[in-house]
A = this chain, B = another copy of it.
Amino acid sequence: MHNQTLILIQCKDSTGLVSSVSNVIARHQMNIVSMREFVDEANQKFFIRVVCSGVVEHVDGLQKELEQNLPPQADVVINPANDKKIVVLVTKEHHCLADILTRHFFKTWNATVEAVIGNYESLQEFTEKFDIPFHHVTHEHKTKETFEAELADKIAAYNPDYIILAKFMRILSPTFVAQFENKLINIHHSFLPAFIGANPYRQAYTRGVKIIGATAHFVTNDLDEGPIIVQRTKSINHSYDVPRLISAGKEIEKAVLSHAIQLLTEDRVMLQGNKTVVFE
């Protein structure tokens, strides 16, 4: 994104919005490199993501001009942070974390992993290989309130753009979720809304399904009900027992979660109610 300007707009739908936006961009002597727009007709909402060539000098001026040419209360973002700060929460499983830390180490994302927090110490040694601080915050011998307060403190210290629940196996309270609104990203090990809750692979085995999947989604107060960002599935057959389902599932989980993080770090995901608009 060198010498480029990224503009994200979300507003009430109305006539001539593409024209208004592209005129403002043209007046600023920028050329449109790529433009993706979407009209949610059911909710009368307009979404647009524009990449322009040329660096804008007066971002505030551009922002004001765009807002003046759009319906009231338009949400306009110009050049969001292009090095997102990420905190990763884990329990004991390593596969998602390892994929994330590798991409951090080789800088394949516009993102920096600031810290990893585990409710067990299992992944401390691995994390520290990458010179990333690991904090052990146990949930044992304390109330959920205390545990979550400690967790929130640790997280808040890094002021992250996103908190990635990379197979973090604790259910978070509405109070906790509210503190990090639109920042908590979870990987659920099923193709939601199938198999909400605990042990989805056990549920899948019992039901005898012929596909399994994984879902990366924003966390809201309803368990596994938040806006979905990425889903993927894999065909299986009768010979998969629960351990093999888990093993096959891990490959999908890490691919899906990393894909979702990539989309987020490239500012390709916009929220609309309980759904996402993803400009891939």
Contacts and interface: CB of A to CB of B under 8 A. Distances in A.
A46 to B, nearest CB: 10
Contacts of A280: 237
B275 A208 contact: yes
A191 B191 contact: yes
A209 interface: yes
Nearest to A14: B31
Contacts of A95: 102, 106
28 contacts: A15-B29, A15-B31, A18-B32, A19-B22, A19-B32, A32-B37, A34-B37, A38-B238, A38-B239, A42-B241, A95-B102, A98-B98, A98-B102, A99-B99, A191-B194, A191-B209, A207-B228, A207-B274, A208-B274, A208-B275, A208-B276, A209-B231, A210-B278, A232-B235, A233-B233, A237-B278, A237-B280, A255-B255
Interface in A1-58: 15-19, 22-23, 25-26, 29, 31-35, 37-42
A129 to B, nearest CB: 4
B231 A211 contact: yes
A191 B211 contact: yes
Contacts of A99: 99, 102
A158 interface: no
A191 B227 contact: no
A145 interface: no
A242 to B, nearest CB: 10
A72 interface: no
B23 A19 contact: yes
A130 interface: yes
Contacts of A228: 207-210
A225 to B, nearest CB: 8
A78 interface: no
